[in-house]
Each structure stands twice: as C-alpha cells, then as structure tokens.
A and B are shown apart, each in its own frame.
Chain A
Amino acid sequence: MCGIAGVYNIKNHISDHRLLEEFTKKMLARLSHRGPEIVNIRTTKLWSMGIARLSIIDLANKNNIFEAANGKITFVVNGEIFNYKELREDLIRKGYVFRSHCDSEVVGFLYEEHGLDFINMLNGQFGIAIIDEIKNKILLIRDHFGIVPLFYYFNGSQCYFSSEIRGFGAVDNIPKLFNPKALDQLFTFWTTTGNTTFLQNIYQVRPSHYVEIDANGVREKAYYNLDLSREKIITSIDFDETKERVRALLTDAIKIRLESSDVEVGTYLSGGVDSSIVTKICKALKRDRLQTFSVYFTDPLYDEKKFQESFLSETNVVSNYINISYRDIVDNFEDAIDHAGQPIFRTAPVPLFRLSELAHNKKIKVVLTGEGADEVFWGYDIFKELKVRRFWAKRPSSDKRSLLFKKLYPQFPHFDAKYHAFISSFYKKALLSDDEEFYSHLVRWENGIPLKAMYSDRMKESVQNYDCIDEFRAQLPDNFKQFSDGGKCQYLEMQTLLPGYLLSSQGDRMSSAHSVESRIPYLDRRIVEFCACLPEQFKLHHFVDKYILRETFKEILPAAIYSRSKQAYQAPELTAFAQYAKGSYVEYLMSEEVTKTAGIFDQRRIGILLEKVNNAKGVSRVSTRDNMAFIQALSTHIFYSKYIHEL
C-alpha cells in the first residue's frame, strides 16, 4: 500500500513545471500515512506524478515510478499484483528487461504489450495511474472489487489524481463543495454509489473500471463484470469436490498474499468463521511466528472475546489486542472520519483505526483479514431475510411464517412474538413489492428514507429532483434480471456497502491511517468467480450461512466458532456518545450555531437527536434508526469541518 498523486495537463497546456511538482508534493504530503518511507516524484512540462511508498516488496528499490515503451509510458501503482511472478516471467521471455523486483513494474510492460486488456490479467488490489505519451492521455485504473482507492478531479484542462480525497485539500484551485447527492445516497444505501464522493466534481474510479482522460474529455469504462446469472450456476457440481476446490483456492489465495511480501505479515482475528479460517491457514503456511490482532469491547453486547479466546487456546500465535471502551469511540471518532474522507453510518471503523495503530506499533505493515467472505459465501443476514420474505410472501397472512424473523434476529427484542403485528406492518410493503431488481434491499433502503426529513430546507431543495435509487438502477448490468435471487442480493452488496464502506471507511482508510496494508484473500478473483457458479444451497443451507466454507474447514475450526452464527461486527454508538458527548466536540458540532452554518440539517431534528443521546445514558439498546441518524449527522458535520470549511 502506498499513496499516489499527480497532475496531468491535457491539450498541451504547458505550465510551470515547478508548480506541477509543488502540487504533487503537497498532495503526497497529505498521504504520508499511506507511505511514510520514501517519496518519489517525476515531473515534466506537462505532468507530474509521485508516490509515497510503504515498502513491502523489493525493499532495496528506491524508485517506484516506473517506465515502459522507452520512457513514453510512465506509471505509479498503489497496491499489489499478487500474480506478478508469473506475469513477469512471461514478459522476460518476450524480451522485456526489468530494473527492479517490484510487483508494480509488470504493469507498464503489460500495458505496452497488451493494451488495456492487461487489466484482466491482474489478480490483485490496485489503484494505477498511467501517463501514456504515445496516445497523449492519462489512465486511472482501480481493482476489481474496490479494495484500493483512487480519486480524480478534472477541470477541462488538468486532471488531478490522488489515493484519498484528502490529497486534493492541498490544491487551492480545486473547489471544495459539499455534494448533497452523496448525502442522499448515504441516507438510502448507507454509502455512496458509483463514482460519487462527498465533494462535488471529485470522483472515485469505480471498482472494475478505468478512466481515460485526454483532449476529448473523460471516458469511464468497465473492464470487468461479475456474472451472477442463474445460467452460470453448475447444479450438478458435487459437494465434496466443491469443498476441495474451495480449500485449494483459499489456501492459494492466502499463500500468494503471504509470499508477495518481504516483511512480516499478520492477521486480524475477530473470532468469527472467516478470520479464524484465514488465521489457521496462515499459521499452517508460515514457518515463523504469526501475530494476530483483535478488538475487545468493554460493552459485552459487542464483545467477541470468548470466541477469540477459544481460537487462541488451540492455535499457537502471538496474539495482540486492544480493548475498546465508550470513551475510545468518542475520542477517536473525529480522527476516524478525517481518515475515512466521508461521512459514515456506524462507528465500527473506530476500533479498526485503533487496531492498525497497534499493528503498526508491533512493526506489522501487512495484515490479512476475513473481509469479503460474507458477500462471496452469503454470510449476511440479508441473504436469510430475503429467503424468509420470499417464503412469507407466498402466504402473507401467515403468522407463523413471519415468526421466522425471531429466529433470524434473536438478539432484537422487537422481533419477539408479541410485536408480530407491527413487524408485519413494517415488512408488509416490501413483502408484496414487485420490484424484482431491488427486492432484497428494499426494506433496508426504505427504512432510511424517512430520515430525510432531517434535511434542511436548502438540502431538500438541492435533491428534490434527484432519485438515487433510479440512478443506481440505471447502472445495473444488462443481464441483471437473469441473476439468481441471492445473486442479485450479492451484487447489490458488492456495489454498495462492500466498496463504499467495508473496504474503504472501515477497511483501507483505517488500516492505512497507521501505515498498514490490509489484504483480502476472500476477494481473490478466482474465489469470487468460482463461488458465483455454486448452487445457492451450498452457500445458504436452510438457515446456515456460508455453509460450504464452514464445512470445508470444519476440522480446523474450534467447535464453538464452526457452529456460531454470524454476528455483525459493530461498535457502540449512541450509548457511547451518551456517556461522553457532554462538553465534548460532539456538543459543539451538533449545536444550533454549527447546524445553521453547515446548512445541511434541520436544527429542530438535530435538537431531537441530542435529546436522544442524553436519554441513551445507561440504556443497553437504542433504535437502529436513531443510531444511524446520529452517526450520519455527526460524521457529516465532522467531514464538513475537515474537508470543506472549518466549523
């Protein structure tokens, strides 16, 4: 992981190269946490690009700006190409001469040899910027599933790019305007979608897309589409054979992620199935010690210590952990949002912000995590909920069918049988919906929509003609209707929460805040593509989620972890702020004065929220919607203050 940034002039606008270099230098300075070791910058009369490097492969190499085509192609890579060794050998056979042993160097020669088709030859996590002086264009490329970030701004004559939007803060002539559409997406999908960011005219390169910018303007194209259509499912596939294939694929995905490193690699261990499997396989593959990193919570509602301990009691690893209290959540929330570079809907990134600090202090630069398994193997409750709703919709009047929700959410008191009539009315609208595309996610999205009443009049006005659900629908792939029910649900997760929150606000941005790179073996392309072909019951078997994964690794998992059902990783929210908001930055950022200055939310609603915070003192559970409203509003004001105008 590194930070990359640069500026490219099109239409032969020659500017002062010292100024271009100054822009790059300043942007990289803002990304120094991503790459604290070496900064390389190259500048010509037309462009400047650079990299702040976190050295992981080929530590001796001191210059990570590479060239191809006799210097006509110059490029920087943030991330890792895990299959670089085979690609490199092939290129050497074709006569290409490498000057380093870095994985990144293959990119330029591959581009020279294969053109843009090369992107699909990569198995990795990457954000790439290529300046092509043969075709006079800049190319910005992002990995298949959005693990590594890449943002850009184009004003018609200059294109700026940066690994994080905070880089643009260093350039005064890039306007910093709040994007109301992004907030509207957050209130609906819990994240932004597509190429949207919270700053107007600053875009992210979408996962599995590249952006080409030249004298003709900006062109964004998908180089890859995950096909989850029904016809791809191999119904005749044997369960035991599938287990062997899953074992082989995951083991290799972990192996190449361990081998693509000249520094010590650790793992994040949550106590769930996914990270336990990753840690077990790592331990089996690594001959030397393995350090694990875990989060404990003082609030037992969120704590998974007993599972972590059951794992550690039978696995020889060096375990490290942090204990997260309510105070830690409140004290670190501002910094976490500053690094996330966008408002969020939960506090769960905060413990991971602290965890990467711990890993960094233990001299760990690379961790493997269990992220991605819940999408690929259908671990989330939303897959089960979809199944229950489909079953219930066949006989909507059935009381018994709706009671399955209690089985699904045993921890929530409002799913008790006595509240059945109200739960039914809550789900009824979505239950009978004929929206085949968004059936799985309608309940979630529609639950957030009423919160838009919190918008200020100005905010309401700016989104009055904007329908983010319609916009999102227009971005669906042509064959989406042919996707299986669960496949649609998976696709929607992989377009919204996965890149927009889990891999970014909770993933890359939190680990890179302390110079740690997270690697995600479950999102190895081979695994994602293989699982897309599996029968649904291999993934969700009755009510057992990630069935094939559990069964494949049953013998290496502690019994308590093998049989535990999915516990969503979350952290204390309103209850934490209830304890410590008074007299803190929270009170100020939610004050009438600040709310008025930012102009995003209605003052009376923010007042109600503050009241709810005060009332949540000592309460064990509060409404999900109130939690979300509070975290969204507070993080929006923090973001506004850090990125737009100090409040």
Chain B
Amino acid sequence: MENKIRNTLIDYVHRTSLTLEGGKENIPLDVSLVEAGILDSFGIIELVAFIEQTWKVEITPKDFTIERMGSINKMAKLIAEKVQK
C-alpha cells in the first residue's frame, strides 16, 4: 500500500511541479520537497489538500513535522498509517 501511495505522490509532483528538472526519476524520495526547491511554501498547502482529498484523511497540526512529512517516503508512510486506521 505504501508503495502505491508513494507512486501517486510521485505522479502528483511530476504532474504539477514546474521546477522539477528531468523526469520522475529525479524526484527525491528522502529529502524535503521544499528544501529541494520542488515545492514552494504555498505548494505544501496544495499538496496537503491533494492528500486529504485523495485518501480521505486529515492532516493535523501534529503531522506537520519534518519527521512525519519531510519527504515523499515519510508522507507515504504517514498516509498509509492513517488509511489503515
């Protein structure tokens, strides 16, 4: 499941990022997308809206830490946990 979520997130970033150099293979999985310059600060809000809509989960203020959402892999893990709950 986590894999599927990860791929959906990668698709989303590829589809919406103007700043990604090259293709999907260049999307970093273990680095903050903001730090990598792929999303700007507002882009995070759009990404959260996408996550909440796609998986029908709620991202709470507690989730907004680098530990839980600081990379695609971390986000996939968090979303999977929430969905399974």
Q: Do residues A624 and B42 form an inter-chain contact, with CB atoms below 8 A?
A: yes
Q: How far, in whole Å, are A605 and B41 apart by their CA atoms in the complex?
A: 20
Q: Give the interface segment out of A120-128, A236-244, A445-453, A578-586.
A: A445-453
CA distance A448 to B24 in the complex (A): 21
With an 8 A cutoff between CB atoms, is A420 at the interface? yes
Is A454 at the interface (CB under 8 A from chain B)? Answer: yes
Contact of A423 with B by CB under 8 A: yes
Assess whether A418 is interfacial by the CB under 8 Å rule: yes
- Chain B residues lying within 8 Å of A609, measured Cβ to Cβ, are 18
Contact of B61 with A417 in the complex, beta carbons under 8 Å: yes
Cross-chain contact B40 with A447 (CB below 8 angstroms): yes
* Contact (Cβ within 8 A) A425 B61: no
- Tell me whether B41 and A426 are in contact (CB under 8 A): yes
Q: How far is the CB of B39 from chain A (nearest CB, A)?
A: 9
Residue-wise interface mask of A (428-471) relative to B, using a CB-CB cutoff of 8 A (1 in contact, 0 not): 11000000000000000011011101100000000000000000
Chain A residue at minimal CB-CB distance from B35: A425
Contact with B along A476-505 (1 / 0, CB 8 A): 000000000000000000000000000000
Q: Give chain B residues whose Cβ lies under 8 Å from the Cβ of A428.
A: 35
Pairwise interchain contact A624-B64, C-beta atoms closer than 8 A: no
Task: Give min CB distance, B55 to chain A, whole Å.
Answer: 19
Task: Note all chain B residues with C-beta closer than 8 A to A422.
Answer: 32, 34, 41, 44, 64, 69
B4 contacts chain A at the CB level, 8 A cutoff? no
In the complex where A447-B40, A624-B40, A624-B42 touch, is A421 in contact with B64 (Cβ < 8 A)?
yes
The secondary structure that dominates the B interface is loop
A419-B64 in contact given A451-B18, A454-B18, A625-B18 (Cβ < 8 Å)? yes
In the complex, A217 has a CB within 8 A of chain B: no
Chain B residues within 8 Å of chain A by Cβ, number: 25
**How far is it, in angstroms, between the C-alpha of A428 and the C-alpha of B19 when the chains are bound?**
19
Whether A612 lies near B41 (C-beta < 8 A) is no
Give 1 or 0 for each of B15-41: 1 = CB within 8 Å of chain A CB: 111111100000000001011011011
Is A597 in contact with chain B by the CB < 8 A criterion? no
Q: How far is the CB of A102 from chain B (nearest CB, A)?
A: 51
Interface centre among B41, B61, B69 (most CB of A within 10 A): B41
A623 in the interface, Cβ–Cβ < 8 Å? yes
A57 to B16, CA, bound (A): 55
Contact partners of A426 in chain B: CB under 8 A: 34-35, 40-41
A626, CB-defined interface residue at 8 Å: yes
Query: Is A629 at the interface (CB under 8 A from chain B)?
Result: yes
Which of A419, A423, A621, A626 contacts B18 (CB under 8 A)?
A626
Q: B64 to A418, Cβ gap below 8 A? A: yes
A608 pairs with B64, CB closer than 8 A? no
Binary B-proximity of A75-95 (CB < 8 A = 1, otherwise 0): 000000000000000000000
Residues of A within 8 A of B65 (CB): 421
Task: Tell me the nearest residue of chain B to A627, going by C-beta.
Answer: B42
Residue B52 lies at the interface, judged by CB distance under 8 Å to chain A:
no
Chain B 38-73 residues near chain A, CB threshold 8 A: 38, 40-46, 61, 64-66, 69-70
**Chain B residues positioned under 8 Å from A429 (CB to CB):** 35
Q: A419-B64, A450-B19, A454-B19 are in contact. List 7 more A-B contacts (CB 8 A).
A: A414-B42, A418-B64, A425-B66, A450-B38, A608-B16, A611-B15, A625-B19
Query: 7 pairs across A/B with beta carbons < 8 Å?
Result: A422-B69, A426-B34, A429-B35, A450-B37, A450-B38, A454-B18, A623-B40
